[in-house]
Amino acid sequence: MNTLIGVALAVCLSVVQTIQDVDSPSQASTETKQVSQNTELEKLKEDPLYPFIDKQNQTKVENGMTYIVNEDNLLILANKKFLMQKTYIPADLVVPNVAFSFGDTTIEKAHMRKAAALGLEKMFQGAKSSGYELYAVSGYRSYKRQQEVFDAEVAAKGDAKAREAVAYPGTSEHQTGLAMDISSKSQDFNLTESFGTTEEGKWAKENAHKYGFILRYPAGKEAVTGYQYESWHFRYVGEEAATIIYQNNWTLEEFFDHVKALDKKVQQAEAKS
């Protein structure tokens, strides 16, 4: 009797072990898949663009127009597709300690948001150390002032031509307080394409990223930005983003196209994990 019980017990243990052996490959496969998915997500998070996912525009649509909600975002993307509200005025506007092409620095165009102003000061000092003198020409511009500038351009050149050269109110980067038009003595402080051919303009284009700025409307990118080449218009985005944009020869639009693509991959990876 004891022998029979022993044999039966051995058979049962053998069956249990067999079941466990059958289940193990499946369990291992699931665990391997989970590890692979986690690895994919971690790899995506190591992408240099990952920190900028939450810096994308947050928007709302009103009367067929797309308005930016997070207007204080230092990487705000304001263009012909994304508008700022007419009531938006940056709360931290200051006057940067740099040389201006005009005398009265109490007027609004002498102002910039604090982070941009500090970056501009460093940029101008960097230029001076390299033997170049830069001059600030036009910074912050209110919605009201932009309306006046745009209307004057329409009166002079017509609506179609005006929209190519001057931002429609609400779409101007100058309203963000993060942009500054720059010139030099050699250009009589004027804002012309030829500034880009001057030694000062060349230095600014090649070194602005070191101080957090990008040449916002480069030549050859008109179809992307929606604006003509502006050798004088520099926009603050912070040193990290500016360096990435410079190294890849991107516009701010292209930068966020890549950020958006990464965001989509991250969301897909998170859904799988």
pLDDT at 166: 84
- Tokens coding 21: 């052996």
Is the pLDDT at 263 greater than 70? The verdict is: yes
Sign (positive/negative) of CA torsion 74, 77, 78, 83? Answer: negative
3-state DSSP assignment of residue 132: coil
First to last CA, the chain: 54
Mean pLDDT value of segment 1-30? 48
pLDDT at 136 over 80: yes
Q: How far apart are CA 30 and CA 99, in angstroms?
A: 64
Q: Is 230 a catalytic residue?
A: yes
Q: What's the whole-number mean pLDDT along residues 75-84?
A: 96
Q: What is the pTM of this model?
A: 0.85
Confidence of residue 268 (pLDDT cuts 50, 70, 90): very high
The CA distances from residue 223 to 111, 249, 251, in Å, are 30, 15, 11
CATH of domain 89-271: 3.30.1380.10
Per-residue burial over 36-52, b = 16 or more CB atoms within 10 Å of its CB, e = otherwise: eeeebbeebeeeebeeb
Is the distance from CB of 231 to CB of 195 less than 8 angstroms? yes
- 42, 230, 239, 253: the catalytic one is 230
Q: Is the pLDDT of residue 22 over 70?
A: no
- Tell me what pLDDT residue 7 has: 42
Token reading at 146: 């932009």
pLDDT at position 161 is 85
Within 10 Å of residue 21's Cβ, how many Cβ atoms?
Answer: 9
Question: Quick one: pLDDT at residue 34?
Answer: 57
Mean pLDDT, rounded, for 73-101:
97
Q: Would you state the pLDDT for residue 32?
A: 57
What is the longest distance spanned by two Cα atoms in the chain?
113
| Encoded amino acid at 186, one letter | S
Give residue 27's pLDDT: 61
The percentage of residues in the chain with a pLDDT greater than 90, rounded to a whole number, is 80
Mean pLDDT of the chain: 90
* Coil, helix or strand at residue 121: helix
Highest mean pLDDT among 13-27, 132-146, 149-163: 132-146
User: Can you tell me the mean pLDDT for 225-253?
Assistant: 97
pLDDT band (50, 70, 90) for residue 67? very high
- Is the pLDDT confidence value at 25 over 90? no
Residue 35 pLDDT exceeds 70: no
182 or 5, higher pLDDT: 182
What pLDDT is attached to residue 196?
Answer: 96
Q: What is the chain's Cα-based Rg?
A: 28
The residue ranges of every structural domain in the chain are 89-271
Residue 36, pLDDT score: 64
Look up residue 79 and give its two tokens: 């263009």
Q: What is the pLDDT of residues 3-16, one digit of tens each?
A: 544 544 444 444 44
